[in-house]
Amino acid sequence: MPLGSISFIQILFLQPIILYQNCIDQNRNDCENHGWSLPGNVFDCSGNLIIGNYILDQIVEKTFEIPPHQLLRFSVTFYKIDSWDSEGFEVSANDNIIFKKILADQDGNQNLCGKTTWKDMPFYYEKEMKISEFELKIKFQNHLDQGLDDEQWGFRNFTLEILIPCVDFYEECNYQGQLFQICQGDKTQFQSEIPFEIRSIRMNNNTVLKLRGPQYSGGNTQQYTTSQPCLDSYKFPKVVQIE
């Protein structure tokens, strides 16, 4: 295809970019239909619905599709319930352990749910990170050794969001070949800094990309809000506007 020279390109990043939220309020249906690897049971824990009844080294995980970014964050509230005997809990991202916590039966201020004999404790965790992959697998694992009548755990308020979104430009169709990335907060980009012609664009659904050129789409401004696997080849304009 003939090379189109783009005279104008604008990138507008819209906020917030929430990729996934689960069990953040008292909507039982939302808590029950979560898509994690183990369904668990949804129950009330002192006024908060939680997904729980997890025991005995059970692993709870879910894989998310991740758009281009410089920074993402996930957050969740866990519940230590009943008698933990200095036993551990881990959070992994793409099979790398990023958080460990050891808790005992005395941890916590009061009984919240489960057996009335023991103190329970909610604890909040959040992690900001960047990954190079286009998928993120979050995994929760306990190391409890007793049954449901003695110790368990649960969680609620899971949120996965993009803090600094980006647009990825590729020199070949289907997101192949050399990559150039523009992110929210970047300085104005000049044509001389972008090393190749563009054939495909990967972006998140909260981004608006506008481009226009006399040899591209009849000279009309084109607006994209989703990834484009294969475009007519074009060069960047002299200046790229980033908002």
Per CATH, 4-15+165-242 and 33-163 having the same topology is answered: no
For the chain, list the strands marked E by DSSP: 4-5, 8-13, 17-22, 41-45, 48-54, 59-65, 69-82, 87-93, 96-103, 121-129, 135-142, 151-172, 176-183, 189-190, 200-202, 207-212, 222-224, 234-235, 239-242
Name residue, tokens 């809000």: 225
CATH of span 4-15+165-242: 2.60.20
Amino acid occupying residue 79:
Y
CB 243 within 8 A of CB 187: no
Domain boundaries, the chain: 4-15+165-242, 33-163
Query: Which H or E element spans position 29?
Result: helix 28-32
**Residue 87, CB-side half-sphere exposure with 13 Å CA sphere:** 20
β-sheet bridge partners, residue 93:
96, 138
Residue 29's φ and ψ, nearest 5 degrees, are -60, -40
Cis peptide before 39 (omega within 30 of 0): no
> Which pTM does this prediction carry?
0.84
Mean pLDDT by 10 residues, the chain (243 residues): 54 90 93 90 95 92 96 97 90 96 88 90 96 95 88 96 94 92 77 69 91 69 90 59 58
DSSP letters, 86-126, are SEEEEEEETTEEEEEEEE-TT-SSB--SS-TTS-BEEEEEE
Residues whose CB is less than 8 angstroms from the CB of residue 147 and which lie 6 or more positions away in sequence, other chains included:
55, 56
> What is the pLDDT at residue 214?
67
Rg (CA), the chain: 23
Q: Domain 33-163 belongs to what topology?
A: Jelly Rolls (2.60.120)
CB 163 within 8 A of CB 194: no
